[in-house]
Structure 1
């Protein structure tokens, strides 16, 4: 199986903006990939290096879920050496992105070239620990990333994650999520015409969003997930409005269902392999 196929299995989707494998685990499987600044459609990819190893993804997500992003942001504020380390990495990230683009800009006109590690727009404000760990694994010597990695115990699993890959559990998870989103569709339809459901549904939607954010950590840097999340949010806002939205379009509900299913299946794959 070639690297691209392995990465697709690790991510549960076809990889985009993939340039090469930048770091492998001790078992030989891809662990970190180097990314182009733009995909084939010209959409920006927010960071140069991306964690694909399911073991690393899950471990880093647990650190984030325990408040790791805020904690490490605080460490950067207090420790001048960490801040210098971050500033150097972000300068290198910008250079790498411009070099890889080879003069090409995407739909954002090159605006994303100025983003830091993980797509951060302000030095010192961390967004995604996965991106900082990926940078350190691909380019050893990045102190902040290496200190984040040091919290992973063990850093690598005793057996390769991909040796244990079995599509059967994933199929069951996806079937469960399909059922849940079909039920969600029915309830959204009801809420569009029954004002009594509005307040309760809004509260539940917020809880679901919080849970997805917790389970996926701060890894919504994938633009297609961000767009899907936005579409779902937009449509849910419409159907729970005080009055049913004019010109009700079933295809809009389908967009929201697809968006939600995409997010749910991504979370299920990452954290319940």
Structure 2
């Protein structure tokens, strides 16, 4: 079920990421998911940034329209309802499996004792950040992260429709 390795970053990816983030990307080890036009949507980030800072968010959602859609969902207070779903043992086990998969993917890029056992988005027991959960769902594919999948399903953004300010190389 492991997702990495990723294709190397291109110079164009770095330019697009800088525009998406409003700053240079830090510690990126690859593009984990792309827009249909080819631009980065999710990057994989080293578990330790170049300055030595531990960084638990391995799958980082960068696409501005996707991040805006997740912010809109969070503002609409959907997270308590999503968290309530974790009372269903099937959903809870799938979410725990997503947590384990996330950690397994990140470990391929280094062990960082300060963040051992910490994934992202509140996994495995809480729903804390839809941006992180959607990023994981996009990188790992449907069926791996049930809450990330649900966030993507309920959002106004679709990975199948380019909403980039500047089309990528394929769009």
TM-score range, shorter chain: 0.7 to 0.9
| Aligned counterpart for 2:20 among listed residues 1, 5, 10 | 10
- The answer as to whether partners of 2:33 and 2:41 remain within 8 angstroms in 1 is yes
Structure 2 partner of 1:26:
36
Structure 2 SS opposite 1:23: strand
- The answer as to whether partners of 1:89 and 1:117 remain within 8 angstroms in 2 is no
Structure 1 partner of 2:147:
144
Q: Distance in 2 between matches of 1:37 and 1:62?
A: 28
* Richer in helix (by share): 1
How far apart are 1:150 and its partner, in Å? 0.4
The reply on whether 1:75 has 2:85 as its aligned counterpart is yes
How far apart are 1:74 and its partner, in Å? 1.4
Structure 2 SS opposite 1:163: coil
C-alpha distance after superposition, 1:190-227 (max 9, x if no partner): xxxxxxxxxxxxxxxxxxxxxxxxxxxxxxxxxxxxxx
Structure 2 partner of 1:255:
none
Structure 2 SS opposite 1:31: strand
Q: Distance in 2 between matches of 1:113 and 1:97?
A: 10
CA RMSD in angstroms, aligned pairs only: 1.9
- The answer as to whether partners of 1:51 and 1:130 remain within 8 angstroms in 2 is yes
Structure 2 partner of 1:41:
51
Q: Distance in 1 between matches of 2:161 and 2:126?
A: 34
- After TM superposition, the structure 1 = structure 2 runs for residues 63-102 of structure 1, keeping only pairs within 5 Å, are 63-77=73-87, 79-101=88-110
Please, which runs of 5 or more residues in structure 1 have no aligned partner? 165-273
Larger Cα Rg: Structure 1 or Structure 2? 1
Q: How many residues align?
A: 155
The TM-score with structure 1 as length reference comes to 0.53
- After TM superposition, the structure 1 = structure 2 runs for residues 186-197 of structure 1, keeping only pairs within 5 Å, are none
- The answer as to whether partners of 1:38 and 1:45 remain within 8 angstroms in 2 is yes
- The answer as to whether partners of 2:35 and 2:162 remain within 8 angstroms in 1 is no
Structure 1 partner of 2:127:
126
Structure 1 partner of 2:68:
58
Q: Distance in 2 between matches of 1:39 and 1:159?
A: 30
- After TM superposition, the structure 1 = structure 2 runs for residues 145-184 of structure 1, keeping only pairs within 5 Å, are 145-156=148-159, 158-163=161-166
Q: In structure 2, do the counterparts of structure 1 residues 92 and 159 end up closer, same or farther at CA, with 3 Å as the change threshold?
A: closer
Structure 2 SS opposite 1:114: coil
How far apart are 1:159 and its partner, in Å? 4.5
C-alpha distance after superposition, 1:43-89 (max 9, x if no partner): 11122211111110000100001112222111222x22221111001
The TM-score with structure 2 as length reference comes to 0.82
